[in-house]
């Protein structure tokens, strides 16, 4: 599995390359010039999801190679940070690993625009433990009990007699919100409870990288991260929707097929329908070229 992991620090990429020359072709003996792509220029500010920071940066780098007069600045800080920047009109695209709330959509209208969502890739939210941990699978209900601190020792779920070190992304993270709604609160199950919250002993991590680093060295730690952040030094736990279901691990295939129970879309949010340079970039991200980059970084392409 190929992984490129960066922290939540701001990453700004500006890449300049020389423009390609004009090509010509011959048809029936008459020279016919081959049209070149529209010469794009300008700059965009793209902010938000730390889960998407490596993917967004790779997209930006490739796009700037293709269009050398374009400058894209990609920064992280969490989905909440990106959405807040969009609402404040200080970025052109918000990258988010969660859906905008109705309150955020309403605030966009107050600020004079409609926020528009574009799904740009899919992700399997992976539950990881240290390789020394004998636990290989967990149900959604067990994960909920772990993250609400109702279960605090690994022996309660078939592991060693050792206290759990439960790690989460911080509250500004879209991954934090998604996991709370779909796992902690068990959305879609008969046991669903929207009043459930993370337990007081859950440790909040500033970035996925920091959390993965902890799991790599701590035999009692457990964490959830995007599929693109899984490394060979952690063990991915199979997830069972309920006690009767088969355990499924996240992969491009299981996310695409819908068999993995903690899959999610990844979003771009824009001020109104994409236009101009924003539209050109979004269209390219959705193209086979852009989606191939998503797959190379262990995210799940739409097509």
Tens digit of pLDDT per residue, the chain (303 long)? 434 343 333 333 333 333 333 333 333 444 444 334 568 999 999 999 999 999 999 999 999 999 999 999 999 999 999 999 999 999 999 999 999 999 999 999 999 999 999 999 999 999 999 999 999 999 999 999 999 999 999 999 999 999 999 999 999 899 999 999 999 999 999 999 999 999 999 999 999 999 999 999 999 999 999 998 999 999 999 999 999 999 999 999 999 999 999 999 999 999 999 999 999 999 999 999 999 999 999 999 997
Q: What are the CA-CA distances from residue 158 to residues 11, 131, 138, 155 (Å)?
A: 41, 15, 9, 5
Q: What DSSP designation does 131 have?
A: T
Does pTM surpass 0.75? yes
CB atoms within 10 A of CB 13: 17
Fold equal for 24-123+265-296 and 124-263: yes
CATH of 124-263, one of 2.60.120.510, 3.40.50.450, 3.40.190.10, 3.20.10.10: 3.40.190.10
C-beta of residue 77 within 8 angstroms of C-beta of residue 8:
yes
CB atoms within 10 A of CB 144: 22
For residue 38, the model assigns a pLDDT of 60
Domain range summary for the chain, segments of one domain joined by +: 24-123+265-296, 124-263
What does 245-284 look like in DSSP terms, one character per residue? SPPB---HHHHHHT-STTEEEEEEEEESS--HHHHHHHHH
Residues in the chain: 303
- Name the architecture of domain 24-123+265-296: 3-Layer(aba) Sandwich (3.40)
For residue 37, the model assigns a pLDDT of 55
For residue 39, the model assigns a pLDDT of 82
Q: CA torsion 285→301→291→76, rounded to 10°?
A: 50
For residue 201, the model assigns a pLDDT of 97
Q: Which stretches within 168-207 are classed as H helix?
A: 174-179
Give the residue among 115, 127, 129, 124 at the shortest CA–CA distance from 48.
115
Q: Which stretches within the chain are classed as H helix?
A: 53-66, 79-87, 102-110, 140-147, 174-179, 208-217, 252-257, 276-286, 288-296
Q: What DSSP designation does 228 have?
A: G
């Amino acid at each position: 599995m190929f992984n490129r992991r960066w922290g939540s620090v701001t990453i700004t990429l500006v890449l300049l390359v020389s423009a390609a020359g004009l090509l010509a072709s011959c048809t029936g003996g008459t020279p016919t010039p081959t049209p070149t792509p529209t010469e794009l220029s300008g700059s965009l500010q793209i902010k938000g999801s730390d889960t998407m920071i490596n993917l967004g940066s790779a997209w930006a780098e490739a796009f700037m190679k293709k269009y050398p007069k374009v400058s894209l600045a990609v920064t992280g800080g969490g989905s909440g940070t990106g959405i807040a920047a969009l609402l404040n009109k200080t970025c052109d695209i918000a990258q988010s690993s969660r859906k905008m709330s109705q309150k955020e959509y309403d605030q966009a209208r107050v600020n004079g625009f409609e926020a528009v969502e574009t799904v740009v890739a899919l992700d399997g939210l992976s539950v990881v433990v240290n390789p020394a941990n004998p636990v290989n699978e967990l149900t959604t209900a067990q994960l909920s009990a772990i993250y609400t601190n109702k279960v605090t020792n690994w022996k309660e779920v078939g592991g060693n007699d050792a206290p759990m070190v439960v790690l989460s992304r911080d509250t500004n993270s879209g991954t934090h919100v998604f996991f709370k709604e779909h796992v902690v609160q068990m959305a879609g199950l008969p046991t669903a409870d929207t009043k459930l919250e993370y337990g007081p002993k859950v440790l909040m991590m500033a970035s996925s990288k920091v959390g993965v680093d902890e799991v790599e060295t701590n035999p009692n730690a457990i964490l959830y991260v995007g599929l693109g952040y899984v490394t060979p030094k952690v063990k991915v736990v199979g997830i069972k929707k309920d006690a009767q279901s088969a355990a499924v691990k996240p992969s491009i295939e299981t996310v695409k097929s819908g068999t993995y129970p903690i899959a999610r879309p990844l979003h771009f949010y824009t001020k109104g329908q994409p236009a101009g340079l924003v539209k050109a970039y979004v269209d390219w991200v959705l193209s086979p070229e852009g989606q191939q980059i998503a797959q190379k970084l262990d995210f799940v392409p739409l097509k």
